[in-house]
């Protein structure tokens, strides 16, 4: 039986690296997309240590031309893509009042449009074959209006909606879509996403609340291999679901927000002090952000 060809975008670190290694170990022909093959030493070293092979293709999901060229190379070298894991993405902090439209578009171009570019490259052949899986890695921030992360919230909410629409559209063609919603996972994104662009000084407390959430999450962060295991399951299961929550805080955030009225969500935002906010957050979501 021929090994399935599976593309993992953003394979150089974090969830992408763990997923590429896990799928390769499960017998997939894994093609990891990276922006620079020359900087993929850690991925290649990890693959060698695990005695698996991860093929590399340079590709920048923010560029139409790069995505088209990268997927043309993939198909030429390995054949049609059976499974696509849209993992590559960036963070983005900022309150709505102080985030420029250009910044929104910059994050959306990567986190949403980058995935759409890749989907459009593989979907026609999947549709023709009547088989294939598209796995979209979003975030719990796609399910809640995370404070002081307006560009990231916008991109992940949009990605959630497009993924849900896509699953509905491609169902008649035998193509499956899975949405993976990680909570806090050990990743280099922590070091890259600590900016607090509080231009007016009016929102210092909001940034503090956001950083408190991630500081608590960092203490309890799940290993990226947990997400990789869920992605493998989503691809291989014969009882597929549309959405999968995984990693610290994911189930609590999704369930807690679903149980919270819109009015209570707004009321939580009115908390006058950090302690009042943290207590309200704990009551609503069952997560202790003081640790």
274: three-class secondary structure by DSSP: helix
Query: Which phi and psi angles does 31 have, rounded to 5°?
Result: -110, 115
Residue pair 195/93 in contact by the 8 Å Cβ criterion: yes
Give CA–CA dist 285/259, Å, rounded. 9
Give CA–CA dist 179/132, Å, rounded: 14
Segment 132-185, tens digit of pLDDT: 999 999 999 999 999 999 999 999 999 999 999 999 999 999 999 999 999 999
Q: Each residue of 2-37: pLDDT tens digit?
A: 999 999 999 999 999 999 999 999 999 999 999 999
Closest of 250, 262, 257, 246 to residue 281, by C-alpha: 257
* DSSP codes of every residue in 53-110: -EEEEE--TT-HHHHHHHHHHHHHHH-S-SEEEE-------B-GGG--HHHHHHHHHH
Give residue 96's pLDDT.
97
Task: Give the count of alpha carbons within 13 A of 234, CB side only.
Answer: 28
196 burial via Cβ count (<10 Å: 0-12, 13-18, 19+): middle
- pLDDT tens digits for range 237-291: 999 999 999 999 999 999 999 999 999 999 999 999 999 999 999 999 999 999 7
Contact in structure between 206 and 270 (CB atoms under 8 Å) = no
Give the confidence band of 186 by pLDDT, cuts at 50, 70, 90: confident
User: Can you tell me the mean pLDDT for 213-218?
Assistant: 91
Is residue 203 helix, strand or coil? Answer: coil
Indicate the pairing of strand 175-182 with strand 54-58: unpaired
CB 193 within 8 A of CB 91: yes
**Residue extents of the structural domains in the chain:** 5-199+221-258
Identify the band that residue 1 occupies on the pLDDT scale cut at 50, 70 and 90. Answer: confident
The confidence score (pLDDT) of residue 198 equals: 82
Q: What is the pTM of this model?
A: 0.96
User: Cα separation of 99 and 155, whole Å?
Assistant: 13
**CA 176 – CA 142 distance, rounded (Å):** 20
**Chain centroid to CA 191: how far?**
16
pLDDT in tens, 226-240: 999 999 999 999 999
- Which residues carry out catalysis? 152
Q: Give me the CATH topology for the region 5-199+221-258.
A: Rossmann fold (3.40.50)
CA proximity to 14, closest of 68, 85, 70: 85
d(CA 230, CA 5): 18
Q: How far is CA 31 from the centre of its chain?
A: 18
The Cα–Cα gap between 72 and 266 comes to 48
């Amino acid at each position: 039986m021929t090994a399935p060809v599976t593309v993992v975008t953003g394979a150089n670190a974090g969830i992408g690296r763990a997923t590429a290694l896990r799928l390769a170990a499960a017998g997939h022909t894994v093609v990891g997309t990276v922006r620079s093959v020359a900087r993929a030493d850690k991925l290649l070293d990890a693959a060698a240590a695990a005695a698996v092979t991860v093929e590399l293709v340079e590709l920048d999901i923010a560029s139409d031309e790069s995505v088209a060229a990268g997927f043309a190379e993939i198909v030429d070298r390995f054949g049609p893509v059976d499974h696509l894991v849209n993992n590559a993405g960036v963070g983005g902090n900022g309150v709505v009042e102080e985030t420029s439209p250009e910044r929104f578009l910059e994050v959306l171009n990567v986190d949403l449009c980058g995935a759409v570019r890749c989907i459009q490259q593989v979907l026609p052949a999947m549709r023709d074959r009547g088989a294939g899986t598209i796995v979209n890695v979003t975030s719990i921030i796609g399910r809640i209006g995370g404070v002081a992360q307006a560009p990231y919230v916008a991109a992940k909410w949009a990605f959630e909606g497009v993924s849900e629409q896509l699953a509905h559209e491609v169902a008649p063609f035998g193509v499956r879509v899975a949405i993976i919603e990680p909570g806090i996972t050990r990743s280099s994104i922590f070091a890259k996403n600590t900016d607090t662009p509080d231009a007016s000084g009016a929102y210092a407390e909001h940034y503090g609340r956001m950083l408190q959430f991630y500081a608590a999450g960092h203490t309890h962060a799940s290993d990226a291999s947990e997400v990789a295991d869920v992605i493998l399951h989503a691809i291989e299961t014969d009882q597929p679901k549309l959405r999968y929550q995984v990693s610290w805080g994911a189930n609590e955030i999704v369930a807690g927000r679903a149980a919270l009225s819109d009015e209570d969500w707004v009321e939580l935002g009115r908390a006058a002090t950090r302690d009042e906010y943290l207590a309200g957050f704990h009551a609503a979501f069952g997560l202790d952000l003081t640790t």
